[in-house]
Amino acid sequence: MTAGDSGFQLCSIDFDNDGMREYSYRWDDWGPQGWFMHLVPGNFNSAIALKGTTTNAFGGRFVKSFSSNETIGNTETWGSSQPEPFIGESTTDSNFLGLGDKYIGVRFIKNGVNYYGWILVNFSQTGNARSLTVKSYAYNSTANQSILAGQGSNLSVNETKAAENFKIYPNPVKKSFTIEHTIKSGDIKYEIYNTLGQIVKTDVLHSKEKQIHVSELDKGVYYIKLYDKAGTLGQQKFIKD
């Protein structure tokens, strides 16, 4: 999203695909008084990992930035504020601005228990224009268990859905794997992500079965997602040997 005029409920995030927004973003531009980029909890059950208890002159607190593989769990300072916590603002702390890819730690309640997750963002500036890119997000589907920033993906919902739509084999894979799907909505796009949420390969499936070559990928864990015009159809994990 490009930070221009003020905007509310930007880029809503629903971690568990239950139709309820856990988080969104808000951009305020007050002209000479400053600009403010907020992370907004969707309800009282959604908390944010904060940079201690520091506030700016308006009483807002600051979102903590995590690097890859840092632990996100119950030892963080969790909460929110009014105004909502800042990813960056111009009066006190630009925070994420110019840091490159950084993770936000989140905690939300589902069925009465806590789940920890992360959101990968990049907050950049070119000239006077600021842009926040939300790259990916995930949560640990085991209740009350911490997660490493960049670890895993939201498999608790999407892998179940994917099992109904497509399969991949062999897995683990060395040079290539075959994908078969039963989707009837025409051409299907796929994207392969690494554990940092970066897209490493993408193409279109023109048939119900296709061999996908991945010999150029480093060894490790990857995720393949399928999309049609309506959105995500499912996701599966595979291991590259």
180 shares its domain with 221: yes
36 shares its domain with 99: yes
189 shares its domain with 228: yes
144 shares its domain with 202: no
At 197 the pLDDT is 66
Label residue 86 by pLDDT band (50, 70, 90): very high
172 shares its domain with 135: no
Select from 148, 165, 189 the last residue of a domain.
148
96 shares its domain with 30: yes
- When pLDDT is averaged across residues 16-40 and rounded to a whole number, the result is 87
Mean pLDDT lowest among 47-61, 133-147, 226-240 = 226-240
Over residues 122-131, the pLDDT tens digits come to 999 888 888 8
139 shares its domain with 160: no
35 shares its domain with 139: yes
Select from 128, 148, 168 the last residue of a domain.
148
- When pLDDT is averaged across residues 130-145 and rounded to a whole number, the result is 86
Mean pLDDT lowest among 28-42, 78-92, 118-132, 185-199 = 185-199
- When pLDDT is averaged across residues 2-24 and rounded to a whole number, the result is 72
Task: Count the domains in the chain.
Answer: 2
At 156 the pLDDT is 42
At 145 the pLDDT is 86
Q: How far apart are CA 123 and CA 135, in angstroms?
A: 11
Q: How far apart are CA 225 and CA 223, in angstroms?
A: 7
Select from 148, 168, 196 the last residue of a domain.
148
16 shares its domain with 114: yes
pTM given for the model: 0.63
Contacts within 8 Å (CB) and 24+ apart, 138-146: 138/197, 139/15, 139/16, 139/106, 139/108, 139/115, 140/115, 140/116, 141/115, 143/110, 143/113, 143/114, 143/115, 144/74, 144/113, 144/114, 144/115, 145/73, 145/116, 146/71, 146/72, 146/73, 146/74, 146/116
**Helix, strand, coil percentages in the chain from 3-state DSSP, rounded to 5:** 5, 55, 40
12 shares its domain with 128: yes
Residue with the bigger pLDDT between 30 and 66: it is: 66
61 shares its domain with 36: yes
Q: Does pLDDT of 223 surpass 90? A: no
140 shares its domain with 191: no
Query: 106: domain range?
Result: 2-148
**CATH assignment at residue 187:** 2.60.40.3080
Residue 5's nearest CA partner among 26, 28, 39, 33 is: 28
Over residues 159-196, the pLDDT tens digits come to 444 455 788 999 899 999 999 988 776 778 898 988 76
